[in-house]
Amino acid sequence: MIVEHALLVGISKSFGLFYLIALSVAVVIYAMWPSNKKRFDDAAQSIFRDEAGPWR
Amino acid sequence: MIAQLTLIERQYAIMISAAVAVCGALMILVGRDDAMGIHGALVFLAGILTIFRIGESYFAPAPSDERLAHYYDDPSKVAIVLAMIWAVVGLAVGDWVAWQLVEPDLTFGVAWSSFGRLRPVHTTSVIFGFGGNALIATSLYVLQRTSRARLPDQVSPWFVVYGYNLFCLLAVTGYMMGITQSKEYAEPEWYTDLWLVVVWVVYFLVYLRPLARRKEPHIYVSNWYYMAFILVVAILHIVNNLAVPVSLGHAKSYSAFSGVQDAMTQWWYGHNAVAFFLTAGFLGMMYYFLPMRAGRPIFSYRMSIISFWGITFFYMWAGSHHLHYTALPQWVQTLGMTFSLMLLIPSWASAGNVLLTLNGAWDKVRDDATLRFMMVAGVFYGLTTLEGSFMAIRSVNSLSHYTDWTIGHVHAGALGWVAMITFGSIYATVPWLWKREQMYSPKLVEAHFWLALAGTVIYVFAMWNSGIVQGLMWRTYNESGTLAFSFIDTLVAMHPYYIARAVGGLLFLIGGCVGAYNIWMTIKVPSAVTDLAADVPQPAVVGSGALRAAE
Ligand code: HEM
Ligand code: HEM
Q: A20 CB near a chain B CB, below 8 Å?
A: yes
CB within 8 Å: A54 and B216: no
Which parts of B61-189 fold into alpha helices (H)? 74-102, 115-124, 133-147, 156-177
Cα B286 from Cα B294, distance rounded (Å): 11
Q: Distance from the CA of B322 to the center of ligand 2, in angstroms? A: 8
CB within 8 Å: A9 and B150: no
- The closest residue, in CA terms, to atom 30 on ligand 1 is B414
Residues in chain B: 551
Give the model confidence (pLDDT) of B317-331 as tens digits.
899 999 999 999 998
> Is the pLDDT score of A56 beyond 50?
yes
Ligand nearest to the CA of B118: 1
Q: What type of residue is A40?
A: F
- Strands (DSSP E) found in B247-351: 253-255
What's the average model confidence in pLDDT over B99-123? 95
Directed axis angle between helix B156-177 and helix B7-30, to 10°?
20
CB within 8 Å: B306 and A54: no
Give the model confidence (pLDDT) of A26-44 as tens digits.
999 999 999 989 989 989 9
C-alpha closest to that of B218 among B133, B325, B304: B304
Q: A38 CB near a chain B CB, below 8 Å?
A: no
Q: Distance from the CA of B317 to the center of ligand 2, in angstroms? A: 13
Q: Distance from the CA of A16 to the center of ligand 2, in angstroms? A: 24
pLDDT band at B252 (very low <50, low <70, confident <90, very high): very high
> Is the pLDDT score of B500 beyond 60?
yes
Which of B144, B301, B534 lies at the smallest CB-CB distance from A40? B301
pLDDT band at B528 (very low <50, low <70, confident <90, very high): low
Q: What share of chain B is helix, strand, coil (3-state, %, to 5)?
A: 75, 0, 25
Give the model confidence (pLDDT) of B421-444 as tens digits.
999 999 999 999 999 999 999 999
CA distances from B231 to B158, B202, B271, B280, B288 (A): 19, 11, 15, 11, 20
Ligand nearest to the CA of B129: 1
Q: Give just the sign of the alpha carbon dihedral B409, B415, B420, B422.
A: positive
Give the model confidence (pLDDT) of B183-242 as tens digits.
999 999 999 999 999 999 999 999 999 999 888 888 999 999 999 999 999 999 999 999
- The closest residue, in CA terms, to atom 21 on ligand 1 is B94
What's the average model confidence in pLDDT over B394-415? 96
